[in-house]
Structure 1
Amino acid sequence: MALRPVQVNIKALDHSTIGRFWAEALGWSAYSPGVTTYVGPAGGLVWPDPVAVCVDVVPVPEPKTTTKNRVHLDLATTSAAHQAELVAFLEALGATPAHVGQGKVPWTVLADPEGNEFCVLEPREIYRDTGPIARVVVDCADPQAMARFWGEAMDWTLHEVSDDHAVSRSAKGVGPYLEFLRTPGVKTVPDRVHLDLLPYPGDDKAAEVARLRALGATDLDLGQGDVPWTCLADPEGHEFCVLALS
């Protein structure tokens, strides 16, 4: 039994605008299958995508606070010229420079039009085959503990683990990496960005949720009401959802 991450959920006041921003940023397409804006590879809506971890932008009534998100995307580039061109393109789309204490680093930190932070990485060989999203990064206090929990939750392969970070990727060697990064501070507000997980065909969602609770996940009431997905939090309080197979 295991789960797979299928999308990054981003909350937005204007889901259509933020969805279009991320579609342009990633070179993908924006789809409106319901009340959200789903961003995935061009060529028609496929859910779940067999390779990519996609983006689902969900409308909410509250704006983002000034608190830095504890989950963000890192975008891949293929050359220094590509990095510079992508940053300029994103700023023309409405992204703004963001300062999160990064100091002098080779990557560029930006925020989307509603303030959600993300990074445009300098070219790195390891990310040449990930697609536009190089990695999903989660700030945490204990990467090793997060690696244990998420390693049990998902069937992804652990590539690195240390006191400072833990990195995993799909066992198929496709799509982005997931990195848990030791970061100062503690979680103080609900995550504006989180992962949505999905059982594999034939697996029982209720059994998967029970398994996650046994691993240390806790139930989460966000006012979601009667919905087909289950809202949980990992041992450090990062929200995530277990979706239902359609």
Structure 2
Amino acid sequence: MATRLVQINMKARDDAALGRFWAAALGWSLDSEGPGVTNLEPPGFSYPDPVAVCVDIVARPEPKTVKNRVHLDLATTSPSHQAELVARLEGLGATRADIGQGDVAWTVMADPEGNEFCVLEPRPVYRDTGPVAAVVVDCGDPRELARFWGAAMDWAVHEVADGHATLRSARGVGPYLEFLRNPDPKRGWNRVHLDIRPYPGDDPAAEEARLRALGATDPGIDQSAIPWTILADPEGNEFCLLSPS
């Protein structure tokens, strides 16, 4: 059994407006599966496929109050492309953000609801990822999260060190999943989190048991009204185990 990362779930006070921003930012298609949910995926995409990690934006009334522990890094192909992308995103409503990064080659920004993201300088490793270079998770122990997520999913672990760890789909396509050491403690539930799916024919209950044996825990969230399962990784980061598809 195994799962795969299929989408990022992002909370928003106005899912439709934030969806329009990210659809324009990524050049992706915009749809909705129902009120309060906006879905983004590349044009012509056949879900699920590791060539892209989709984005679901879900309406929630709570305002953003702390830095997100999960964010997107956007890829660029040249210094001029990086500058052009930053300018275009500012025109769409993004702002530059200071999270204490200092003088770095990438540009830290925030979307119209304050969600941080980075526009990276051109890096060869991301030349074939598409517009999203990486999904990045702040953590205290990259080695431990690489252990957990490397076993939880069928993604390959590419690099593990004290300061960072990197995974990517075993097919060698799509964005990377990266864990970066950050001393800041987790505060409250994550407004951006990972959604994973088992493969068709797999038993969701057995997959949940397997994830718990790897170190997943119950985050203490009322799940009585939802058909999927919410768990937390060994550092308390919430994630959703969706139905097989």
Q: What's the TM-score, normalizing by structure 1?
A: 0.96
Runs of 5+ unmatched residues, structure 1? none
Q: Is the 8 A contact 2:223 2:229 kept in 1?
A: no
Structure 2 counterparts to residues 1-246 of structure 1, below 5 A: 1-35=1-35, 36-43=37-44, 46-65=46-65, 67-245=66-244
Q: Is the 8 A contact 2:5 2:50 kept in 1?
A: no
Q: After superposition, what is the alpha-carbon deviation per residue over 1:15-59, rounded to whole angstroms, capped at 9, x for unaligned?
A: 00111111111111111122310000013x643245210100011
- Alignment partners' CA distance in 1, 2:28 and 2:98: 27
Secondary structure (helix, strand or coil) at the match of 1:240 reads strand
Secondary structure (helix, strand or coil) at the match of 2:34 reads coil
Q: After superposition, what is the alpha-carbon deviation per residue over 1:106-158, rounded to whole angstroms, capped at 9, x for unaligned?
A: 00000000000000000011101001100000000000001111111011111
Runs of 5+ unmatched residues, structure 2? none
- Alignment partners' CA distance in 1, 2:195 and 2:174: 15
Q: Is the 8 A contact 2:198 2:244 kept in 1?
A: yes
Q: Is the 8 A contact 2:126 2:133 kept in 1?
A: yes
Superposition RMSD in Å:
1.2
- Cα distance, 1:220 vs. partner? 2.5
Moved over 6 A (4+): none
- Alignment partners' CA distance in 1, 2:221 and 2:21: 26
- Cα distance, 1:210 vs. partner? 0.7
- Alignment partners' CA distance in 1, 2:84 and 2:126: 18
- Alignment partners' CA distance in 2, 1:30 and 1:224: 27
- Alignment partners' CA distance in 1, 2:34 and 2:99: 34
Q: Is the 8 A contact 2:5 2:197 kept in 1?
A: yes
- Alignment partners' CA distance in 2, 1:9 and 1:2: 20
Aligned residues: 244
- Cα distance, 1:103 vs. partner? 0.4
- Alignment partners' CA distance in 1, 2:49 and 2:2: 17
Decide whether aligned partners of structure 1 residues 243 and 213 sit closer, same or farther in structure 2, where only a CA change above 3 A counts.
same
The sequence identity of aligned pairs, in percent, is 69
- Alignment partners' CA distance in 2, 1:21 and 1:49: 23
- Cα distance, 1:101 vs. partner? 0.9
- Alignment partners' CA distance in 2, 1:224 and 1:88: 41
Secondary structure (helix, strand or coil) at the match of 2:195 reads strand
